[in-house]
Amino acid sequence: MDRDEIRQEVRRIVDIVYSTHLRDKDIRGPGYFSEDFGVTPQDVQEILRRVEDKFCVIGLTGKNVNAVVEEVYDALQRGVKERVLRILCEQLMWDPDEIREKLKKRDLDIVEDLGADDEDLLQLAWEYEMEFEIKISDEEARRATQFSQIVKLIQQKLSG
88 lies in the same domain as 131? yes
Q: What is the extent of the structural domain holding 55? A: 3-75
Residues marked as catalytic: 117
- Report pLDDT digits (tens) over 60-76: 888 888 889 999 988 88
Neighbours of 130 (CB within 10 A): 10
Cα distances (Å, whole numbers) of residue 156 to 18, 41, 112, 131, 143: 32, 36, 24, 15, 15
| Residues 22 and 15 sit within 8 Å (Cβ to Cβ) | yes
151 lies in the same domain as 83? yes
152 lies in the same domain as 92? yes
Domain count, the chain: 2
Chosen domain end from 56, 75, 94 = 75
Chosen domain end from 18, 51, 75 = 75
Cα distances (Å, whole numbers) of residue 37 to 28, 63, 152: 12, 13, 39
67 lies in the same domain as 82? no
CATH number at residue 137: 1.10.1200.10
Instruction: Write the DSSP string, 76-130.
Output: HHHHHHHHHHHHHHHHHT--HHHHHHHHHHSPPBTTTTT---HHHHHHHHHHHHH
H/E stretch holding 154: helix 147-159
pLDDT at residue 44, rounded to an integer:
83
Check residues 119 and 13 and name the one with the higher pLDDT.
Answer: 119
42 lies in the same domain as 97? no
pLDDT at residue 14, rounded to an integer:
82
Chosen domain end from 55, 75, 95 = 75
137 lies in the same domain as 82? yes
69 lies in the same domain as 86? no
For 28: left if phi > 0, alpha if psi spans -120 to 50, otherwise beta; the answer is beta
pLDDT of residue 29 exceeding 50, the answer is no
54 lies in the same domain as 84? no
Mean pLDDT computed over every residue of the chain: 86
126 lies in the same domain as 99? yes
pLDDT at residue 21, rounded to an integer:
58
Q: pLDDT band at 54, cuts 50/70/90?
A: confident
87 lies in the same domain as 66? no
pLDDT of residue 46 exceeding 70, the answer is yes
CATH number at residue 53: 1.10.1200
Residue 43, classed as helix, strand or coil, is helix
pLDDT of residue 24 exceeding 60, the answer is no
- How much of the chain, in percent, has pLDDT values that exceed 90? 48
pLDDT at residue 97, rounded to an integer:
93
62 lies in the same domain as 25? yes
68 lies in the same domain as 116? no
DSSP state of 63: S
- Report pLDDT digits (tens) over 102-158: 999 999 999 999 999 999 999 999 999 999 889 999 999 999 999 999 999 998 888
| Residues 58 and 74 sit within 8 Å (Cβ to Cβ) | no
